[in-house]
Structure formats: C-alpha cells, structure tokens
Structure 1
C-alpha cells in the first residue's frame, strides 16, 4: 500500500494494530499471559513510570495483546486512541471518571440498557455524581437539562432493547453548543453500522462482549477517544487540564494533546480503578472482530426478514425495528447507520406479560439468555430480567414494558428462526 492510501474497513478489521510477533514470527497475535515486564535498566523504569516513555510496566496498565485490540478499536471507530477494560459497564465508568467530580451530573437518554440506567441513577451516587434522564428525541429538553454542573451527555447509537436510533448529529450539536463531551455507547451498532465520531461524538464506549466478539465467550469493554475535544477550553475538566499531583504536576492535555484522555485512562483510570481486560479475553475479541462485517451483514439481513414477518403476525401488537418503513426512526437509518439498522429490536405481544413469558418458554432455537449480539439468536423478557430493577415508568421509557420481548437476531437461516417464532407465538396465544 502507498503511504497516502487509507486501508478499508474490512482490512482494518484484520490488520489494524497487529504485526507478526517479532520473537517467533507468529502471524496471529499471541496471548501475552504475563503480569510484569523486565526493564532495560533503572533509567528505563523511571521513564516509564514518569510517562516520559511509552512501554509496558505491569498488566493492570498495559499488555501487548490488549494493546493490539486498543489500536484496532481506535482505527475502526476513527479515534486517536482507546482504553480496553473488563466490561461494558466498566467502560462507562472509565469514560466518566476523568470528567466528573462530586456534585457533577451527566445528561443521559431515557432509552438505555436497564443496567446502565441503574448504574447512572443509583450506583454513581456513591461517587457524588448524578444523572438527568431525558428523551433524546427532544433536543430542546436535552439542552434545558444541562446546567453548570453537567460534564457530559450520554446516549446509545442504537438503543438497547428497542433498537431506536439516536439522531447523533442533533445531539452532538447540543453538546458542542454547551462545550460538553458527547459519549456514545455504540455496542448495538458496532463501527460497521455506525461511527459516532463522524457524527460529533467525543468518546465512544462498547461492551465488546456483544457483537464485536460475537460468540458469547468473554466480557470486555473499551473507550475510544476521538481526540477532538479541547479539555483546556474551560475549567470543567481539571483531571485533564490541571496539574496532576500523582505525576509531579504533569498536565495531561498540555503534555499529550489529542491523546490526553487515552493516557489518563491508562495512567490514572486503570492504575487506580483496576478494571483491567485480561489478555485471553482480548485475544478472543480480536478473533471475533476479524469477521465483524460478514456477521453484521447477516444480522441485518435476518433482522429485516424476521421483523417484517413478525409485524404481520396477528398475535403481535408492534415491532420496534428501525429498519421497518413503519418505524418512526426509519429515516435515520441511512444517515446514522448506513449499513443497516442492526439485529436488535423488541416485539410487543397482544397477550401482555403472561403471553411474553409463555412465548419465551416455548422457543426452541432461540436461546433465553441475558446477552445480545451473539451469532445465535437470543431472546429475553426485559421487564422481568434486565430491566426489572426499574420502575414501570422507567421500563416503558426504555422500551421494556411488561408486554415486550427483546430479540437479538443471529446469523442462522431466517426460515428456521421464523418457524421457531411461529410455533412459540401459537403456543403463547392459546
């Protein structure tokens, strides 16, 4: 390739960040199952600990296998750097940690995964942080929720569980006007369907457990840094703009420029929070990412076929799939997710809660699990499981009402999925 050529997305899936192992020539990225790394000498060790030189110190901070995954995720999302961690939930805390202080708040979408709503409404209170939940279809309401203590805006590109598509262009304008970073959870879309940084996102987070790995074997999270935010434009982000006592007064933004957030995430976030991704999980995720495009194409194709069939079934009250012309989010697909609306949606059954439970129990090919984004088709009744900790009002706002079932469409033959759904709906209707 010439120096000025940019690799295509599918090439990046396989090659970004990876090189043959210099010691053995191994083509696949090795699992560097080690805790620590030998320093060349005392001066080398001091330079690493002072952030004067980049290298490996201890695997809570950096690991060669994880480093390849970080570089690949940054390339796929169009960011300057990335920090991998132990789960998607860990990634959300890692994203907020450099931005927030006691008394600060984040403005968040009402349409979020139930665990995220709980993390934001309950758990982060223990840090002295808070969240304001707003319908992100109402950009005026989002802007009105911002106050002097707001430090970030948070949403999902394709919301779990309903598959709603957020108008990232409109939300990023609100964030820019307020001088705030926009954090986008891109788990349900993946960078194959949506690249939030191109729509103005500052940070992108993923649960790599889902579509990126694609086989339900490991948990992992990542925060991708766009490198586009000016952390020194105001005094709102002292962790990044002010002197850091732990590094003799070093100022992350002044020292590392566009990579300030990434370096802080490793040098402070992973050092002190310890939400480390293990190298074996990174290896599995790298292997999964190699087939991301092929899998996502099939997820989308199957989801369109199955959702269209479900929408016509007499036992079904409604289907939320944004790829359907009947969806209020259909017009956003081409602009925000040009490769398709994903493989996640919900189905509302006319028989209510009891019909949903019977439907889930009657499925044979679909797996009843608390996960999504697997090669296998998955199903769950969110109101009684993933979203059961929420109030009825919060469940409805999140798209997880009692009469709703979440479906994650896999890559099996669509006709087999439809046959299984059909027999289960028949049983649930009797």
Structure 2
C-alpha cells in the first residue's frame, strides 16, 4: 500500500510538473542556437576574401567575435541572478531575443566603415544575449534531472558545442550561393538571425523550474525516502559547502578559473581562424574549410561529454592535465601538416579538449567547493571564458598577421597550453577550516 501511494504521488507530481524531456529538448535547442557563435571563422574568412567589400586586417576581423565572448560573462553573471528571482523562461527568452537582434543588426554592415555595426550587433548585443541564454539551461536542467545530473550537464553544454555544426555550412552556402553575398557576406546574418529567433524562442518557451515538491521519476524508494545509491556524497570530495564569498577567498578558485582561461585561450585561437588556417595550411577549398568548421563542432560538443565522463574515472585534475597537454601538443604540430587528414585529426583533438574544459569544470567546482553553491561558483568562473575569448583570437590574429605566420602563431598558443599543465598539478581542494 505504501508503495502504491508513493508511486501515485510521484507520478502525480511529475505529471503536474510537466515532461522533463520536453524541457531538455528545449534547452538543447536554445544551446544549439546560441552555439552558432562558434561559426564565426567561416564569416571571418568571407570578410577577408578578395571579392569582399570589407578591407579588414585579421585583427579587425577577430574583434566582433572576441567582443561577443567578452560580453558573455556579463550576461551569465546577470542572468544567473535574475533567474533566481524571475525564473528561467523570462531570462532565456530575453537572451534569445537580444542575441538574435544583434545578429540581424550585424547583417546590415556593408563595408569596412560598418565594422562598428558588426562589433555592436554581433559582439555587444549578441554576446550579452548569448550569456543570458547560456547559463539558464545548465542551472535549470540539473533541477529537473537530479538523478542524472552529470549526464544532463554534459548534454546541456554539449548542445552549445554542436551549434556550429549546422550553422557553418549553412552560412557558407548562403554566402556562396546568393547573388551579391560574396561582396557583402554579412547579409547572411539577416537570414541566420531570423532563424535563431524562431528556434530559440521555441526552445525557451518551455522553460520552467520544477515545483518545490518535484520528485524525479525513479528517484525515490517505496517508503518515500531517497535511494541511498542515488544520494550525493559531497563529503567524499569537497571538505564542506563553500559560499561564493568563501570560494573567492581561496587560491583554488583562481587556479580553476585560470585552467579555464588557458584552455579557452589556446583552443579558441584555432576556432577563431579555423577556416582560414585550413585553407592556407592544408590546402582546403573554401567549401571544405566551412565543412571542417561544422564537423569540428561535433568534437567540441562531444568533448564536453567525453572528458566529463573520463574525469569521473581518472579524476578531475588528471583530466585537465590531459586536456591541456593534448591541446598544446596538437597546436604545436598543426602548422606543420600538409594534408587534409592530419589537419582534421589535430583540429579534432584541439576542439575536443577545448570542449572538455567546459564539460569537466562544473563537476570540479563541486568537488572543490561542495554542491550547494556550485552553480553560482562555477558561473563566476566563466569569466575565464571571456578573458580567453578576448586574448586568444586577438593574440593569434596578431601573431599570424597579413604574412600568414601560422607556425609562429600556433607554436606560441601550444606553449601556453603546455605551461598551463602545471596548474591542475598544483591545484588541490581547499581544506575544511573556516
């Protein structure tokens, strides 16, 4: 009788709460939409093409993308705070609208004199909206899936990594196939921004937090108590639950943030110039380079899930050693390959490791500082994403220059990643003393 009553109550709660898998689908759709930001290198290559009306240096071409990543942290910081008060739907809808409007606005840039419009639309508005929308599914879905927290976190951030898979070839097809688009490639943003708005609003419209009495299906035993096998045991990892203020007072918070900063700086250096690098280093055609960018999005997304799962088996710190070490070695080798297959392999390693840092860091924050405030603590760590997103594209563009110094550029970035291997080696969880 007790079992029937508990089961009925659980089913009633779940039914009243809604279908969590629909909410997961909405979260992935939003992440796919905003993850299209990683297709920038396809637009960057088109802007630098001889037929383009834009006469931009590689550094100038990187500015809209780096501003977008720089604005992302402001969006995640404010979005997390507003979400706690207003709920996830309003924050996600606002983020999608701002992001899409920014992309559409960038679509009205026609030549070099309109660089400011690219920066304002794609960079400032797009980046801020991206940050608002990005943080919501990660926090919300963990509440809907307490029984699958690690997997769902990986899926949530993985969706973001897959965004360029769809967008890059679509962008290239618009630019190469529509009359006048090769001279003014930014026109593609008008179509893409409209698509982002439709699909992003569709996904965000189903967002909501579960009710206070929500119980995940299968997460309770017959007597209504939590299944001991499913209980979190933070004491075995974190010494205690740290508040945001306490975490910020420890050197460990800054070391973890530095790991993300280094990984982003190294990985995004290739992401920001991937299409151009593929063409000039390994002889890819324009269409093949756009396809590469799209396919690499798969490895970006898969790396977020695969490295997070690997870290469960080998530990977080060894995983970060692997992420930074492999990333560094692949970057050193990249400018010396002369064929398509090897370029694909090395690029896949770099993208996988880049995504892996995002997949592994949320769990690491929980290991170091406890689970109670891990979402907020991790959200603050995303400043490393913004810093790396500014430094990486700017530095690689400056190093490569108009002379195409790819060996210099990727060698420097590879060394940065390899030096970063030291950080997870010395970073250890803080002790329990208050």
Fold-level similarity (TM above 0.5): no
Which structure's residues are more often helix, by fraction?
Answer: 2
* TM-score relative to the length of structure 2: 0.28
* TM-score relative to the length of structure 1: 0.28
